[in-house]
Structure 1
Amino acid sequence: MIYYKNIKGAFLLDVYKSQGLPSILCSNVSYKIGRHKGIFPIEEQSSSVNHKRNIFSLSYIPEYVTTELDEKKRFKSNTFKSVKGYSVWLGEYGSFKDFLASMQAKRRQALSRSLRRLDSCFDVNYHMFHGNISEDSYNYLMDSLKKMIAKRFEQRPENSETLVLWDKIYSTSFRLINESKASLYVAYNEEKPIFISLNYHFDKILFGYVSSYDIDYGKFSLGQICIYKHIEWCLSNGYILFELGWGDLEYKKWWSNNTYNFKSQIVFPKNSPLAYAMAHYYGYKTELIAFLISKKVNIHLRKLKSLLRKNGTASEQNGPSPYYKLDDIEPKHIEIEKSTPIPLESSNIPKSIVYEFLFLSQTKISNITICPLADGKNYIISGNKMSKKIVYSKNN
């Protein structure tokens, strides 16, 4: 009796991967979005996979993509609906200015405010590594991205699927960036990365695969600015689609003007009733999971796990954890409460609180003053005609 093994792959992540399923299964892959057509750069590769003894699940294929199976390998396939996908369609805009004009005024104003405040507080510059990156820069930026992701998920707290796959991502991306098949888009505060995005490039489509930012800058909406800058780059370089991928997240809904369903293609050997039955089992299972996700079952489960994890962590702690917050103070009391200013690095103040003050006051970090109060825990922070008290407290 022949036993079949299910070999899984994700389309957008496997196109450039050695031994990736698209190259094993397909002779041609194309896309059509509106009037625009193009070819996904599938490269034929030799494979040691036993096609007669395997069923292949190729998931997360955008519905605008058409795959043609390699007829020589005697496959059959069935397609099943999957989760919702989000993207930003850019083909009808002649410039970034035209795209911004199409946005709702409130959203445009919110983005403008975040960018203005970020630029008023820090010396920010942006760089796209696409086609050329040194090994030292790659190692530094990927290490920084990994740390940002880990810190973000500690904050939630949740587990990161990206970190589970990190070794594979890290081992393949350096080559892909230097071959112009991938890129790292980075925002720096002076020389320090504050957001990083790893992207894949498919003809005139940019797929934003994984991104993260320094959570100390959370007040400045870096996630939104990241997408804003990517779209600006796309329109400056003739791209027609910024692909946001799967995941029913609010920021994707906020930006997306092109929603669709992903599909899963289950490929199996011809002339095998068992393979046919197993392929349909995997396919209908995919549709069931997609249906549950559409009903937000995964979100409710995630919230429950997060709550249980949080309660478990809280029970292990010895008392409430400390934190800092900004409080208003009466202007007439500022001079009385001030002491001799100290360097920021000499205080115990978290950067996130300082950056929150910068956001409110629109002050350069070099222009603020920090003055400790007599109790040794609280501070006065001042800049741009604004002062606040930084108060040390305890969570209840």
Structure 2
Amino acid sequence: MISNPFTSDTFSTIWSKHFSPSVSATRFGFLKTLFFEKHQFLPLYINYGKTHTKGISYTIENSDVEEIVGKVVLIYDVPTYFTTAELPKNRIKRYQIQQYPGFLIDLESYRDVNEYMVGTFKKSSRYKLNKYKRKLESCFDINYKMFHGEISKDEYESIFASFNALLTKRFDEKQVTNNNLEKEEWDFYHEVAYPMILEKKAGLFVIYNGNLPIGVTLCYFSEEILFDAITVFDIDYSKFHLGSVTIMKLIAWCIEQKLKIFDFSKGYFDYKVRWGSKKYDFEYHILYDSKSLIAQVLALAIALFFKFKQFLRDKNVNEKLHRITYKLKNKPDKTIEKFRYTLFEITEDYQNEDFVEINYGTAENEFLKTIVFEFLYLKNESQRNLKLFRSSTHDNRFLFSGIDNKVMVEVV
């Protein structure tokens, strides 16, 4: 791969600062593009980045293979669609252990996003996807921006604060832990993304409602590939399918920038299958000295360990574990409160009822946001024209008023 962002000096240096501060970097002449950290006790060397990259590429130089003597080298997350380095005919052997699935879109043959949509989806599906985008843009003051090569520090900090808040909100709703929100990991992403954006090796794609970020995607770039690293949307906008809208906008951006691949990266999700044109696998590569008994045994043990982890993953043990760890880390009162509501047309029974206008943007009325967005979606009204009123006699009764529609809402 040309210009892999995950082997860049910036990524490697900042990753080392956060995850391997006390261990000196090791470089091998036969693996010139990678940095490694040595295991404290074993003759094992692990690539910088570990599982925090979205794809490692490497080549093997024949001239310095004697450096492998007595050693094992572990390289995480090598996508199978990358060209695999050929092994020299000497003492180096390799295990390639399949781990997570990955999905990508090959964009090389498409001139624009519409051409991709026609080639990928049926007419009815294209209509729905475009309808989501039209609805979103008609109901809200929507604008899109890719920060790539330029962003002020203040704006960056503001977006990252929203990024964290949206991720926290999303996974509190799912009641599942998310590794990206662990302090050590989040601090790393927070520090590494800014300089890499300025270097055009990373980007932040943001969907705004007015000045408020409602969707954020952190991505990385090689010369030909966009890697989707972390994506999140405000769950209050779920009816508007922000995920599909984001993918359409990113496809269009990739084609405009002449990028050949939009890589959804590791992990199985239905949307990746639906949008992707190719499935691949992430592999862990274990290079070892085949003439050293210690290296042979160690390499085999590592290979068996990762095969066992994949077996557990196939049985969804990891998902169950994430739910358990969430419950252990979070108090019950952090669970999002559920409520029911009914929307109905105004009748004569309510004509004489007194209503007082309220601001649904306050913390007190935050629970109304989901209902507001459903009203906007169903009635095709714009947020800028919406007014809300609370009944002076029934605290759970509200009047929603747009340009063309008025409805009564009762919250149970």
TM range (shorter): 0.7 to 0.9
Q: Which moved more, 1:211-220 or 1:292-301?
A: 292-301
Q: 1:381 matched to which residue of 2?
A: 400
Match of 1:335 among 351, 365, 368: 351
Pairing 1:1-396 to 2, within 5 Å after superposition: 14-16=6-8, 17-18=11-12, 26-27=31-32, 55-68=72-85, 76-102=93-119, 103-164=121-182, 165-269=185-289, 271-299=291-319, 302=322, 305=324, 309=327, 321=337, 323=339, 325-337=341-353, 339-345=355-361, 348-350=365-367, 351-373=369-391, 374-393=393-412
What is the rounded CA distance, in whole Å, between the counterparts of 2:202 and 2:33 in structure 1?
A: 21
1:26–1:70: 8 Å Cα contact kept in structure 2? no
In structure 2, the CA distance between the partners of 1:331 and 1:133, relative to structure 1 (3 Å rule), is same
Shift in Å, 1:349: 4.8
2: CA distance, partners of 1:338 / 1:219 = 31
Q: CA deviation at 1:100?
A: 1.5
CA change 1:210–1:53 in 2 (3 A) is farther
Q: Give 1:297 deviation, angstroms.
A: 4.3
Unaligned 5+ segments in structure 1 are: 1-11, 30-39, 44-49
Residues 392, 51 of structure 1: alpha-carbon distance in 2 compared, 3 angstrom cutoff: farther
Deviation for aligned residue 1:135: 1.3
- 8 A contact 1:83–1:263 mirrored in 2: yes
| Structure 2 CA distance for aligned equivalents of residues 76 and 228 of structure 1 | 43
Counting aligned pairs with the same residue, the percent is: 26
Contact in 1 for aligned 2:381/2:403 (Cα 8 Å) = yes
Is 1:195–1:222's contact at 8 Å kept on the other side of the alignment?
yes
Report how far residue 296 of structure 1 moved: 3.8
Q: TM-score, normalised on structure 1? A: 0.80
Q: CA deviation at 1:295?
A: 4.5
**Match for residue 47 of structure 2?**
none
* Segment of structure 1 superposing worse, 363-372 or 294-303: 294-303
Distance 1:22 1:262 in 2: 24
Q: How many residues align?
A: 361
The Cα shift of 1:13 comes to 7.6
The one-letter code of the counterpart of 1:219 is K
Residue 86 of structure 1 and its aligned partner are, at CA, apart by 0.9
Alignment match, 1:37? none
- Name the CA shift for 1:239/1:333 in 2 (closer, same or farther; >3 Å): farther
CA RMSD of aligned residues (A): 3.5
SS of 2:351's equivalent in the other structure is helix
For residue 31 of structure 2, what is the amino acid of its counterpart? C
Contact 1:216/1:352, CA 8 A, preserved across alignment: yes
Shift of the 349–84 alpha-carbon distance from structure 1 to 2, 3 Å rule, reads: closer
Which secondary structure state, in structure 1, belongs to the residue aligned with residue 158 of structure 2?
helix
Partner residue, 1:6: none
Q: TM-score, normalised by structure 2?
A: 0.77
Distance 1:108 1:333 in 2: 43
CA distance in 2, matches of 1:388, 1:187: 29
Aligned-partner residue type, residue 394 of structure 2 = D
Structure 2: how far apart are the matches of 1:337 and 1:117? 32
